[in-house]
Structure 1
């Protein structure tokens, strides 16, 4: 009997010649569910990737921790206890650079030359010349592109001095040589951050800080007690909250696409039950239990929903893994930049597929689809074959 019910259910699904209207509505409801799931997975993957890469870049350039007071004895003890941690002492100041191609305001970090290789995101992707240079500077790839600069070329840096005028501080102009160009993948860092010899600011002690790069994320923050410090979360609290809120809002909005898809399944099932009204009466007249008849129609919707969810999940994973190529193609096709580096910080569209997100999306999709499949089946219980046959 069960095999017969399965065959009957499958015949309803794949009988395209007899039930053309139902087949079209089935395809449309399946497409709605497939698109809803695939878009939701893709958006969540991009949001996860954006947050992870941005956090990695922020902590990889500015450090996981910034210490504002140079208690050398305390810092030495922390170094001895945590030998894998990198400490980079630097002096920060706002500077201006200009040439015939334009003018840019920059944040200049002055540090010892060997310390620049302790900065993870700088050391990972840097091109430099081997020549020894005293007045050296490292610039980002976006700044080099903006001002048409290359390794080995001179660059003029205007540094605010201590003397003040009615128009502001007097600028001290210095000419440095570009020793290297780095690419962090973050637009702001690659355009507005430069790194130079600490001798440029050796008299400017007020802006001296120590950036700490944690290779071990299980660092005991109690070791920092007594020091004036801030973490990258403290420095970028608004950004972190905005990213979390944006992800939650996008999830809620896109989840409604799946809910709407479920309504198409309900309407599809109601239409299907009306189409098979005579078949239901005949099956009841033959003595087949109502639960088994309901199972036929429930199985019908289940297979449609299940395969739609599987296809939607696979499509979402495919879109996520190729999202950067898709964005580049659409930008070229539409002649419009879909991913703006200046607004989104990152130079490319990232993604990160989380298994728990996929499981959650599939689970709620399957649950909503099954509920939507069950609701119309309740109409079958109201059909009385004895009254109709009489």
Structure 2
């Protein structure tokens, strides 16, 4: 007698039943692997890896996965590079601006600064103060061999103080400070020297509107000085517009005999300027008015911070878009692997196991993309000067115009905390992107998936 219909059909398998009741020896083996120690078992890692390997019949899934991987890589690399350049740009500007301009500016109140030498000595004795520099400043019109004139800021400084300004004294590219020390010469920037066709030993003519007073009015003061040395700070604005003159000569040239216009104070820690303010005021021992570097450059550095935060937000969207590609690739993968998921369920794999398999598959793309992106970003930051020189050679022009961006070279300074934040952001977005397709795979009904197989 032929077996009845009921005897021919297999008993339904409870997907959530223990593995020893799954009905087959293979199911028991799978369950034992599924119960391995650790958040992800060897069985789950094997299945996730097999799903990620490209196959010919799943070309569309593989292409989307590769696009997701490349997107995460480029997004992470771009974030690291841009943040490093922004940090380097701020640090280099801060170093150059504060290397030439004091951290605290002291101006006289009630009477001229005729005791500048004594005040500077007392302030220099404050613990944590590097140097106090009396200055004479004035605007002039400078002209050289090329004939064309340009506006320049003349700063009168003592020779011993100029030696302490390492941003100048350690960046002499032509000439020496010997003539300057004797009071017979001036220092000019490299870009000013090139624009005027000057070299060390040539003469530069300075015209000051604050000249001699005559019965017919004030006549401009015109005087020619030899160029003792040429410096190059690497900041185009300073290299093209600053002239250093011996202090006593500057007093005579700007009609400031016996006085200093201001005193610039350089301290060890610019960020601790508030703590030094009362100490400097006490050491000055006279009425003074103080302005620190943050007040003088507040708008400039605030704009840099806003630009840096905006760039981080914009490039984070690039990583987010790449993470959305992970969702697309996993949804296509779930659709392609519906039959395989159903078979795994009938063999005893739990919903949580399927969930972890697809989370691993999606997060794996994010982990690999993040790792390669970090490596790419670090390599670019380490070799950014060579890349700049190659781009200049390939394009035949300056890709980094120092007249616009202040600095002559692209700076890059990586911050470990920011790099770690980029890594966490990328991994978090990759994990969140993998959850939705993984939950869809875990909820797949094996009966419905195998109905028409």
TM-score higher than 0.5 here? yes
> Could you tell me whether the CA contact under 8 Å between 2:120 and 2:134 is conserved in 1?
no
CA apart distance, 1:130? 6.3
Alpha-carbon deviations, 1:18-54, whole Å to 9, x = none? Answer: 5332222211110010000001100000000000010
CA apart distance, 1:214? 1.5
| Equivalent position SS for 1:157 | strand
Alpha-carbon deviations, 1:47-80, whole Å to 9, x = none? Answer: 0000001001111001111111236565543333
5 Å-filtered alignment, 1:1-390, equals 1=33, 2-69=41-108, 70=113, 72=116, 75-82=120-127, 85-101=130-146, 102-126=148-172, 127-129=174-176, 132=179, 133-162=182-211, 170-202=219-251, 203-204=255-256, 208-217=261-270, 218=272, 220-225=276-281, 227-390=288-451
> Could you tell me whether the CA contact under 8 Å between 1:94 and 1:108 is conserved in 2?
yes
CA apart distance, 1:387? 3.8
> Could you tell me whether the CA contact under 8 Å between 1:95 and 1:158 is conserved in 2?
yes
| Deviates further, 211-220 or 363-372 | 211-220
> Could you tell me whether the CA contact under 8 Å between 2:171 and 2:232 is conserved in 1?
yes
Distance 1:221 1:181 in 2: 34
Distance 1:250 1:388 in 2: 46
CA apart distance, 1:249? 0.8
> Could you tell me whether the CA contact under 8 Å between 2:167 and 2:233 is conserved in 1?
yes
Distance 1:105 1:294 in 2: 70
CA apart distance, 1:236? 1.0
Distance 1:189 1:246 in 2: 23
* TM, length-normalised to structure 2: 0.81
| Equivalent position SS for 1:19 | helix
| Deviates further, 269-278 or 9-18 | 9-18
Q: Which runs of 5+ in 1 are unaligned?
A: none
| Equivalent position SS for 1:348 | coil
Distance 1:254 1:15 in 2: 29
Distance 1:95 1:285, change over 3 A: same
| Equivalent position SS for 1:85 | strand
The number of equivalent residue pairs is: 388
Alpha-carbon deviations, 1:141-181, whole Å to 9, x = none? Answer: 1111111111111111112224689xx96321111011111
Alpha-carbon deviations, 1:235-272, whole Å to 9, x = none? Answer: 11110111111101111111100111111111111111
Distance 2:354 2:137 in 1: 76
CA apart distance, 1:17? 4.0
Alignment correspondent of 2:7? none
Distance 2:450 2:322 in 1: 37
Distance 1:379 1:93 in 2: 74
Distance 1:169 1:188 in 2: 30
Alpha-carbon deviations, 1:198-248, whole Å to 9, x = none? Answer: 233323268711111213555622113453111111111110111111101
CA apart distance, 1:15? 3.9
CA apart distance, 1:135? 2.7
Distance 1:104 1:239 in 2: 25
| Equivalent position SS for 2:288 | coil
Alpha-carbon deviations, 1:310-330, whole Å to 9, x = none? Answer: 100110111112222222322
> Could you tell me whether the CA contact under 8 Å between 1:92 and 1:207 is conserved in 2?
no
CA apart distance, 1:388? 4.4
Distance 2:125 2:415 in 1: 37
> Could you tell me whether the CA contact under 8 Å between 1:129 and 1:152 is conserved in 2?
no
